[in-house]
Chain A
C-alpha cells in the first residue's frame, strides 16, 4: 500500500467521513480517491480547490502564510482541506456527525507525506 493510499485509508476510517481524495490544486485533477457512493470527487476537487486558492489569497492579503488546514462547515456537513507539497491538497467530505478533530489530525499527518 502506497503512502498516499495509506493516508486516504486512515482519513476515511474516521467516523463520519464520507470520502477523501487528493487533488492537484492548480487544475483540480483528482490524483487518488476513496469515496462513498454519491460523492463526486471531481466536483469536490474543483469547488474546494477554487475556494482554497481564494483563501490563500485572502491570507496573503492579511500578511499571513498560506493555510495549512481549512474547515468549510455547512449545516448538513463539511469539507476539510489540508494543502500539502507540490500543489497537492488532501480533501475530505464529512457528515454533520463526523469527528472533525480526529479527521483533522489524520489529514494533517497525511498531507505532510504528500509529495
Chain B
C-alpha cells in the first residue's frame, strides 16, 4: 500500500464523515484498484448523495470497470446536481461517442465548452469528434477505430497559463507591487492594458484586506465587479498575488467566479513551480 493511500485510509478511518473518500477512491482508481475504489466511493456516496463530485467519481470508476450504463447514470446524476459540471459532460460525450451517437457527443462537448471556454481539452475533443463525424463511416464488419476522445481521467483543472497565448487573454496575475506576473488584458481598442491594470490591482488587494478585516468580515476572498460590458473577478491565489479574470458581460458572474477559482488553483501551482 503506498504512503498516500495509507494516509488517506487513516484519515477516512478517523473521520468517516469527511470528504477524504474522494481523494482515496480516485487514488485507488488511478492505481487500477477498481474494486477498492468502488467500495470507497459507494460508501462516500451513501453519506453524500447530493455531492456532484461523488457521482462524477463513481462514474469514472464504473467507466474504468467497463460498466458504461452505470457510468452514464452516475454522470447524469452529477449533472442533475451540477448542470455545468464539465467532467460529467465530457464523460457522457465519451459514452455517446463510444455508442456511435456522434451528434449527441458533440452536443455534450459543446455544452462543456460553453460552461468552461478555457478548457483546451474540450476544444481538442470537439475538434477530433467533428473530424471523425465528417470521415466516412467504416463498414459494419470492420473493427471499430480507436476512440478519438478519452473519458475524463480526473477532474483536472484547466490552466490559463499553459493553454497558449490566446487563452491567457482576460486573465492577469499580479504581484504585491502591481507588477504583472502572467496573463494578458486587452482594452476595447485592442491595446494592451495589462500593465496599467496591474499597477492598480496591488492597491485593490490592500484595500480589500483592510476593509474586510476592520469590518469584521474576515479575510477577503474575492471581489466581483459588474461593469457595463464586462464582468470581473479578483481573487488572491496567494497572500502576495492577485488574480484578475475578465469576461464579457454575457457571462454570468457566477460562472466567471468558477473560472477564477480554477485559474487561482492553476496560478498557485504555477507559482510553486516558478517560485
Residue A51 CB within 8 A of the other chain: yes
Assembled-state Cα–Cα distance A40/B216 (Å): 10
The count of chain A contact residues (Cβ–Cβ below 8 Å) is: 33
User: How close is A25's CB to chain B, nearest CB, in angstroms?
Assistant: 14
Pair A61/B200 contact, Cβ less than 8 Å = yes
Main secondary structure of the interface of A (DSSP, over half): mixed
Q: Which residues of B contact A78 (CB under 8 A)?
A: 217
Assembled-state Cα–Cα distance A71/B223 (Å): 5
Residue A76 CB within 8 A of the other chain: yes
Pair A68/B227 contact, Cβ less than 8 Å = yes
Residue pairs across A and B with CB atoms within 8 Å: the count is: 117
Q: Which residues of A contact B222 (CB under 8 A)?
A: 71-73
Pair A74/B226 contact, Cβ less than 8 Å = no
Pair B228/A73 contact, Cβ less than 8 Å = no
**From residue 67 to 112 of chain A, which have CB atoms closer than 8 A to chain B?**
67-79, 93
Pair B193/A62 contact, Cβ less than 8 Å = yes
Pair B225/A62 contact, Cβ less than 8 Å = no
**From residue 22 to 65 of chain A, which have CB atoms closer than 8 A to chain B?**
39-40, 43-44, 47-48, 50-51, 54-55, 57-59, 61-65
Which partner residue on chain B sits nearest A101 by CB separation?
Answer: B254
**What bracket does the count of chain B residues touching chain A fall in?**
35 or more
Main secondary structure of the interface of B (DSSP, over half): mixed
User: How close is B201's CB to chain A, nearest CB, in angstroms?
Assistant: 6
**From residue 231 to 275 of chain B, which have CB atoms closer than 8 A to chain A?**
232, 246
What 0/1 readout, one digit per residue, does chain B (177-204) give for beta carbons within 8 Å of chain A? 0000000010111010100110111011
Residue A66 CB within 8 A of the other chain: yes
Assembled-state Cα–Cα distance A47/B209 (Å): 10
Pair B215/A51 contact, Cβ less than 8 Å = no
User: How close is A93's CB to chain B, nearest CB, in angstroms?
Assistant: 7
Pair B208/A51 contact, Cβ less than 8 Å = yes
Pair B196/A61 contact, Cβ less than 8 Å = yes
Pair A61/B218 contact, Cβ less than 8 Å = no
Pair B228/A47 contact, Cβ less than 8 Å = no
Assembled-state Cα–Cα distance A92/B84 (Å): 30
